[in-house]
A and B are shown apart, each in its own frame.
Chain A
Amino acid sequence: MRRFILITLVVFMCFGTGCFYALARGGKEEEGVVKITFLSHTYEPWNNKLQEQANAFMELNPNVEIEYSYVMHADLYSKLISSLEAETAANVIGVFGPWMPKLVNGGFLAEAPSDVAQDIKNNYADFGIDAVTYNNKIYGHIQHVGMVAPVVNPDLFEDLGEEVPDTWSGFVKLADKYSHIEDMVITALEPAGDSLVLQWATVLSSFGGEMLTKDLKKAAFNSPEGLSATRAYVKLANPAFIGTDEVSAFILGKAGLVLDGPWARTFYEDSTVLKRFYTTIPPKEKFRRIASYVWLWVVNADASDAQIRVSWDFAQFLSNDENYLDMAKTIGFVPFRRSNIKDLSDDQWVKGFADSTEYAFIYYERIENWEEVETVLRRELERAIAEEITPKEALANAEVNMNKLLK
């Protein structure tokens, strides 16, 4: 019995000593060297490029050590939340734009130093400045922009003997006219899922509707403009694609227009069915508008002053003119720096996105529970698209449920 207890104690002591040594060693910094950690989600070509850029930054700054890691896209949020709660979060973190208010209000993010803030104000397109700003302060550099611009299959329209419409109403007319043709859709807008509200917001804003009231206390979409936009959207989003990939219909040449991002270029280029496709500026209605979201590089406030400064410098380095141009060309990101928008004008695919930045706006409101608010709206829009309820009922239900959350 005594021997057993002794052996158990020795095992625990060895384990404890090992842990202590590892922690002590890991926490110790060499003199003059600033170590920062850097976290993003996984996308292999991008991860490789980021590692290259981290290496380049370390070459330029020999006193800086950067440790880069990435997690699956779906795991990033839980990794972020758990590491922030445990106070082990990385110094530079890639986060989804709508998470920013909660992170700022929780005191987790460091505000941008004045020189970084000035660079952003001088060089970002307007929607980009809006995306990184909360309570009139700048909290991030743009990692990439989620702008889904119209991608057109001109052959489908030519085969029907029609011009590609320039208005959402024009697309609705064609959708009605050719609704009897099975196996083909004029537009394949998102009928469900995470991008539904984003795409619907493009149509809503084009019709002149607003998401929330100015004070962010009430839903504002249940208006004549909102109803017209939702009726149009329901016609343009085929319920058949719920739970499946509507972009595939476009790749197979069965859809005339889809909203997609520049990262999807290779999917279309690799299609053996789709002969021609191009990106274009968004269709007009009352306005020409395109809803966008951003992913940001933010800096963890729970660090030394030196680490925070280096983290901001590194985030700025990743998003500078040269590196971001490289990202736009090689990874397929939306250009958001004013200089990049001009630089990319010779590339027809990226040009559509570059030109669309003029009409871009950040569709989500800067409130802590945006994701819950958006989900309430998404559910009702899905029901309308699935013909379970009418667009009018959908907006009314969403308004009631959303207002409860906004109080």
Chain B
Amino acid sequence: MLAIIRDRKRRFVYAGLIPILLLFSLIYVYPIFSAFFVSLHDWELLSKTHNFLAFKNYLKVFQDAVFKRSFYNTLYFTFVYLFFTLVIGLSLALFLNSLVKPFQTILEVILFLPVVTITVAGALVWKWMYNPSFGVINYLLGILGMGPFKFLASPKIVIPSIIIMALWKWIGINVIIFLAGLQSIPEEFYEAARIDGASAQFLFWRITLPLLKPTLEYIFVTNILAAMQVFTEIFMLTYGGPGISSRVVAFHIYETGFRFLKIGEASAVAFILFAFILIVTAFQFRIFKREELY
């Protein structure tokens, strides 16, 4: 009798899941297969014929110098951004963690404000701040006897300039997550180590960092995913320029698909980016799983 009731309940649950699974398939699964199908064709929007090309779009993308540069820029952006977001984010979180409550909360709010600011609006403000003639950054650097720098006009410093803006925008969320991770570490661990005469460095390397591993893992994965898909900052600040100096893969997809209407080629680039992110993410999970530190 109990088994029959359980079976009925299970069937009811499965039946209840059908609408949401259908919706999920329609919104997520179908577009993925559809995009892959499109990527195998010479598919241009507004064109009536779509010839099957097999993997020619993929080969074309790999031979395209503009895509290669976009990919290089994406990696450059991702790794530099990731390094600084981890170092600055963790340092700020440690600093905030050492403060008493009202000051900690005030600084948390200040750091978090850019996160809730619209990226487009933030980028416009940064565009003005970076202006070599009348931007506030060059003005301040001028007082120190430096500059003026062509932040967005020089191919050499354009990506670091965008990274600074992205760090301003997103560092707050990482600080908050780091802070939550720090506050979840039991105080007893530190007390016991201090009784044994442990130094501040020892506490950080042997207690804080190992116990922050799940937080680090989360920040690592989510920030790599976000950085690999960076778009708005580039679109607003430089439009990929000068030339292709700050062009990234997401921008390449946008321009190929929605400006040049080559949706087949754009889909192929999207799948290449997807595959790369998948491999990087799987690799990260493997590393974090293997290096079980505590």
Residues of A within 8 A of B (CB): 1, 4-5, 8, 77-78, 81, 84-85, 102-103, 106, 108, 182-183, 191-193, 239-244, 248-249, 252, 254, 369, 371-372, 375, 379-380, 382-383, 385-386, 388
Q: Within 8 Å of chain A (Cβ to Cβ): is B237?
A: yes
Residue from A182, A191, A192, A241 in contact with B239 in the complex, judged by beta carbons closer than 8 Å: A192
| A220 shortest CB reach to chain B, Å | 22
Q: Which residue of A lies closest to B132 (CB)?
A: A240
- Contacting pair B46 A388 (CB below 8 A): no
Residues of B within 8 A of A (CB): 8, 11-12, 15-16, 19, 45-48, 127-128, 130-135, 148, 150-155, 158, 237-239, 241-245, 255, 258-261
Q: Which residue of B lies closest to A405 (CB)?
A: B260
- Contacting pair A386 B19 (CB below 8 A): no
Q: A8-B19, A77-B258 are in contact. Are A242 and B46 (CB under 8 A)?
A: no
Q: Which residues of A contact B133 (CB under 8 A)?
A: 183, 240-241, 244, 249, 254
Q: Which residues of B contact A1 (CB under 8 A)?
A: 8, 11-12, 15
Q: What 3 A-B pairs are tightest by C-beta distance, nearest first? A: A243-B152, A242-B153, A383-B243
CA distance A192 to B244 in the complex (A): 11
Residue from A182, A191, A386 in contact with B155 in the complex, judged by beta carbons closer than 8 Å: A386
CA distance A383 to B247 in the complex (A): 13
Residue from A183, A193, A382 in contact with B243 in the complex, judged by beta carbons closer than 8 Å: A382
| B257 shortest CB reach to chain A, Å | 10
Residue from B128, B242, B261 in contact with A242 in the complex, judged by beta carbons closer than 8 Å: B242
| A238 shortest CB reach to chain B, Å | 9
- Contacting pair B153 A383 (CB below 8 A): no
- Contacting pair B152 A242 (CB below 8 A): yes
- Contacting pair A252 B134 (CB below 8 A): yes
- Contacting pair A103 B46 (CB below 8 A): yes
- Contacting pair B260 A192 (CB below 8 A): no
| A250 shortest CB reach to chain B, Å | 11
Q: A243-B237, A386-B155 are in contact. Are A78 and B258 (CB under 8 A)?
A: yes
- Contacting pair A193 B239 (CB below 8 A): yes
| B172 shortest CB reach to chain A, Å | 24
- Contacting pair B127 A388 (CB below 8 A): no
Residue from B151, B238, B242 in contact with A388 in the complex, judged by beta carbons closer than 8 Å: B242
Q: Which residues of A contact B16 (CB under 8 A)?
A: 4
Residue from A5, A81, A249, A383 in contact with B242 in the complex, judged by beta carbons closer than 8 Å: A383
| B26 shortest CB reach to chain A, Å | 14
| A271 shortest CB reach to chain B, Å | 14
Main secondary structure of the interface of A (DSSP, over half): helix
- Contacting pair B243 A379 (CB below 8 A): yes
Residue from A243, A249, A369, A371 in contact with B153 in the complex, judged by beta carbons closer than 8 Å: A243
CA distance A84 to B47 in the complex (A): 11
Q: A4-B15, A81-B261 are in contact. Are A380 and B243 (CB under 8 A)?
A: yes
Q: Which residues of A contact B242 (CB under 8 A)?
A: 191-192, 239, 242, 382-383, 385-386, 388
Q: Which residue of B lies closest to A191 (CB)?
A: B153
| A179 shortest CB reach to chain B, Å | 14
Q: Which residue of A lies closest to B128 (CB)?
A: A244
Q: Which residues of B contact A77 (CB under 8 A)?
A: 258-259
CA distance A85 to B11 in the complex (A): 42
Q: Provide 19 A-B residue pairs closer than 8 Å at the C-beta atoms, listed in order of the A residue.
A: A81-B258, A85-B46, A102-B261, A108-B46, A192-B242, A239-B242, A240-B132, A242-B238, A242-B241, A243-B237, A244-B132, A244-B133, A248-B134, A372-B259, A375-B255, A375-B259, A383-B155, A386-B154, A386-B243
Q: Which residues of B contact A383 (CB under 8 A)?
A: 155, 242-243, 245
Q: A85-B45, A239-B153, A244-B127 are in contact. Are A371 and B19 (CB under 8 A)?
A: no
| A190 shortest CB reach to chain B, Å | 12
Residue from B11, B48, B150, B259 in contact with A240 in the complex, judged by beta carbons closer than 8 Å: B150
Q: Which residues of B contact A379 (CB under 8 A)?
A: 241, 243-244
Residue from B15, B238, B258 in contact with A243 in the complex, judged by beta carbons closer than 8 Å: B238
CA distance A191 to B239 in the complex (A): 13
CA distance A4 to B131 in the complex (A): 62
Q: Which residue of B lies closest to A102 (CB)?
A: B46
Q: A1-B11, A386-B154 are in contact. Are A243 and B130 (CB under 8 A)?
A: yes
| A6 shortest CB reach to chain B, Å | 12
- Contacting pair A192 B12 (CB below 8 A): no
Q: Which residues of B contact A103 (CB under 8 A)?
A: 46
Q: Which residues of A contact B48 (CB under 8 A)?
A: 106
| A391 shortest CB reach to chain B, Å | 13
CA distance A5 to B153 in the complex (A): 62
Q: Which residues of A contact B132 (CB under 8 A)?
A: 240, 244
Q: Which residue of A lies closest to B235 (CB)?
A: A74
Residue from B12, B46, B238, B259 in contact with A84 in the complex, judged by beta carbons closer than 8 Å: B46
CA distance A103 to B19 in the complex (A): 40
| B53 shortest CB reach to chain A, Å | 17
